[in-house]
Each structure stands twice: as C-alpha cells, then as structure tokens.
Amino acid sequence: MKQILWFRRDLRVEDSAILAHAKEEVLPIFIFDKHILKQLPKEDKRITFIYQCVLELKKRLQALKLDLAIFFDEPQNVFKKLKEMGFDEVLCSVDFDAYAKQRDEEIEKIIPLKRYIDAFILNPALHLKKDQTPYKVFTPFYKSLSMISQSKHIDEYKRNENLKKIKFDYSTIPSLAQLGFQKQILPHFLTLNGFELLDAFQTKMSSYEKNRDYFNKDASSKLSVHLRFGLISPKQLFNCIRLSPNNRGEFFIKELFWREFYNYILFHFPKSQESNFNGLKISWNDSEEDFKRWCEGKTGVPIVDAAMIHLNQTGLMHNRLRMVVASFLTKNLFINWKKGEAYFAQKLLDYEASSNIGSWQWCASTGADAAPYFRIFNPYNQSKKFDKEGVFIKSVIKEFEHIDDRVFHIENGVQSNVFITYPKAMVDIKLSRQRAIERFKEAKNELF
C-alpha cells in the first residue's frame, strides 16, 4: 500500500485525520493550486502566510522522520503523474465549497480519494432532526449537540507512529516569486502559533462576552486565520477552552458551533453558496459605482469607511464591523450580498467560504436563521455604542485625528467640518432603511 497524504487546510501534525488513518508507506504532499493562485493579486498576504506554514509543516514532518513534497501545479496534473508512479490512494480532509467538491470529483476519476472530517468537529451528514431532515435554525441545532458541546473533552486523532517515508525527491521547493507572489509583512499575531494565541486569550476570556463587540478593544482570540488553515484544529481549540477555570469559555464555544452550523448549512444546502437560502427573489441595486465606493471606503459614513479601508490595508476586520458594513451594503445600499461576500473572499486573511456565505446571508436576511429583514444596523449608533471616542476611526483615517469625536456618530457630521474634505453620505439612513423594508415586504409577498 502506497498512500499519498494530501495536506490542504490541515497544516499540522497533531489531531491530523490523515496521519491517523495512514498506513505503511506514505508520501505527504502540499499543492500550491495554480487554479486558485491565478485569481489572487501578487500582494495577497495569505499566500505569504500559507507559504511560511507549509515550510514549517515540512520541518515538523521531517522531525517525525517523514517529509513533505511541495508542488506548484493544478491538482489533476500532480495526481496523474503520481498515479503513474504506482500510488494506490489519496487521503485528505474534506471541504464542502463548490470548487473543492468539483476538484475532488475530478481527482477521484484519476485515483481513489479518501476524505475525512478534519477542519470541523461534526460530520454534517450524521446530525439530522427526528424526521431525518437537516436543521435550519441554530438554537435547536446547538441544543441537539449538547452531548458534544457540553462535554469536557473531544477525542482527538492519534498519529500512526509506524509510517514510513516513501523515497521521493522532496528537495524541490518553489519560491514565493515562482508562485507569482511578493513577500508581504504580516501582522504580529501571525508570527505566533495557535497555542501561543490561546495562552494570550485566556487572560481575556472572562471579559470576552462583554468586550467582543467593542472594535476599539483587543478582545478577540485572533485564532480565525489559524483555524481556517488548520494550524490548530477545532477539537484542539474546544479542548483547550474547556480547561479554562470556572468554565469561562462557554460563550466562545457557542461561537465555535456557529462555525459548525454554517458548514452544516453549506453541506446540506449547497445552492446557498450562489442563491438566497430562503428563496426570496430580490431586485437588488446593480450600481457598480455604489459598490465601488463601498469597497474603497468612500461612502461618507465614517465607521463603514474606516472598516473597509482597514480591511483593504490589512486583510482584517472585527466581527461587529463585518455586520455593520454588510448591513450597510445589503440594506442601505441594497446591493446583493454575493458581491460583498466575493469581495471579502478576495481580502480577508481568515476567509472561509461556509462561515462567510452564512454570515453574509444572515446580514442580508436571506439565509438560514437570518436576522429579520427589518433588523438594519444604524452605523452611527453602532460607532457611538462600540467606539464612542472614535479610537478605531481615527486610527484608520488619519485626517480625522483632531476632530471632535461626537461628529462620527451624527449623520453627515464630519462633513460639517470646513477643514475636512469628506464626501457626503451616499444615502440617508432613515430613508434607505425604509426602502429596504418595503422591498423585502414585496419580495416576501411574491414568495407566498
């Protein structure tokens, strides 16, 4: 038996499904997929981060007397060549987004493929209601998993320690330049491993539920990128949080299961990646100019603009800000959530298809267990409540550093300052809110 261990979004050696299920002689590989990379700008920070993580994975495998063969190609080409070399099957973790499913179906035509649940805790196929239909609402879904979510520990995969490295040329390592990318400076937290971040988060755990919404505070775990690329597994994260004194991590664990829920929805309802989950047919605003101004942070609404500029510069956005900018795009500008979701896919360091599709549909009131269509964030109220002194806004938009904080929370307040050149807000918040409510009512009447 000669197996290929295809690392994808599971860049670790602990709690690794493929290292646990592998037998005898193995060839661990990682493929820099040309199909994916050609769609990304050469300054994409994620590639610098992944590249560093792949090299670290290679070192860790070498410490286990294994190694990692690194390819820069389309997966079909790689497996056609490996099949000719006498390999029997491929072991990998499973993904449920459209491209991943199509890619894996093509690989299966070349060589047998065994897929394992590794990036998530749950196998979505095994958790159904009593009538054998999938859950569509988070609360009953979460309650049905109490035996897991309330447990003290979830068993992790144990590595097979008897694996043997197949003779292969492991020396070829494409450079970032050969991949078509420029090395980027990464935020400091990405130089730390997941467990170092967890240690730092433990000191903030007791105040997490209270402080997590304040985007001017350093209250988050900063683990989303590591979780996305499998540098730490959700089971490892769950188990570490459960060790917190006085069970302070309960709220965080619930959020971890929101991630499970959105993956579950994408698995059972794959069409939700491209269409409204609830079936509403909405006539969205197709203005490319409006969308461009939102992307560039030129809407005339300080908190929205600061959030988008920060995203464009860093690839990062606080969760509360994601809701604010998504609500503004889909409700106030009435632009299709799919455009915003696609833009986030280009920019977010922690972009994960299932979570982002689910979150965007939640904000747009088109998804599973979504916000009611009349729940529309007022961006000025949000900035006043969660950044009263304008700390975040001023840190991003430097020309606002010396103006009165109060004007950030007043519609067209900044524009009243004669020393600041700032565009008038694109829409009236009250009128655009009413327009959105009316259009959703029309769409719902047409549906029923």
111 and 144 share a domain? no
The label of the residue with tokens 């300080």 reads 302
- Which of 237, 268, 299 represents a domain boundary (last residue)? 268
What SS3 string covers the chain? Answer: CEEEEEECCCCCCCCCHHHHHCCCEEEEEEEEEHHHHCCCCCCCHHHHHHHHHHHHHHHHHHHCCCCCEEEEECHHHHHHHHHHCCCCEEEEECCCCHHHHHHHHHHHCCCCEEEECCCCCCCHHHCCCCCCCCCCCHHHHHHHCHHHHCCCCCCCCCCCCCCEECCCCCCCCCCHHHHCCCCCCCCHHHHCCHHHHHHHHHCCHHHHHHHCCCCCCCCCCCCHHHHHCCCCCHHHHHHHHHCCHHHCCHHHHHHHHHHHHHHHHHHHCHHHHCCCCCCCCCCCCCCHHHHHHHHHCCCCCHHHHHHHHHHHHHCCCCHHHHHHHHHHHHHHCCCCHHHHHHHHHHHCCCCCHHHHHHHHHHHHCCCCCCCCCCCCCCHHHHHHHHCCCCHHHHHHCHHHCCCCHHHHHCCCCHHHCCCCCCCCCCCCHHHHHHHHHHHHHHHHHHHC
Q: Distance between CA atoms of 376 and 378, rounded to whole angstroms?
A: 6
166 domain residue, yes or no: no
99 and 148 share a domain? no
Structural domain range at position 262: 120-155+193-268
**How many structural domains does the chain have?**
3
Q: Distance between CA atoms of 138 and 448, rounded to whole angstroms?
A: 24
356 domain residue, yes or no: yes
Q: Distance between CA atoms of 273 and 266, rounded to whole angstroms?
A: 7
404 and 441 share a domain? yes
- Which of 268, 299, 316 represents a domain boundary (last residue)? 268
Pairing of strands 89-93, 113-116: parallel
| pLDDT at residue number 246 | 62
pLDDT tens digits for 340-384?
999 999 999 999 999 999 999 999 999 999 999 999 999 999 999
CATH number for the domain including 37? 3.40.50.620
| pLDDT at residue number 280 | 94
| pLDDT at residue number 444 | 83
Whole-angstrom CA distances from 215 to 311, 391, 395, 414, 418 are 13, 9, 12, 20, 28
Whole-model pTM?
0.95
302 and 400 share a domain? yes
CATH number for the domain including 247? 1.25.40.80
229 and 144 share a domain? yes
pLDDT of 247 over the 70 cut: no
| pLDDT, average across residues 210-233 | 95
Q: Distance of alpha carbon 366 from its chain centroid, rounded?
A: 19
238 and 222 share a domain? yes
307 domain residue, yes or no: yes
60 and 200 share a domain? no
| pLDDT, average across residues 77-104 | 95
441 and 333 share a domain? yes
| pLDDT at residue number 314 | 95
37 and 9 share a domain? yes
| pLDDT at residue number 418 | 78
pLDDT of 165 over the 70 cut: yes
pLDDT tens digits for 248-281?
788 999 999 999 999 999 999 999 999 999 999 9
pLDDT tens digits for 306-334?
999 999 999 999 999 999 999 999 999 99
325 and 264 share a domain? no
Whole-angstrom CA distances from 422 to 204, 327, 349 are 37, 22, 29
| pLDDT at residue number 447 | 60
> pLDDT exceeding 90 applies to what percent of the chain?
93
**Mean pLDDT for all residues in the chain:** 95
56 domain residue, yes or no: yes
368 and 357 share a domain? yes
Q: Is the dihedral of CA 304, 307, 309, 311 positive or negative?
A: negative
201 domain residue, yes or no: yes
16 domain residue, yes or no: yes
- Which of 73, 100, 119 represents a domain boundary (last residue)? 119
128 and 250 share a domain? yes
46 domain residue, yes or no: yes
274 domain residue, yes or no: no
Are the CB atoms for 304 and 397 separated by under 8 Å?
no
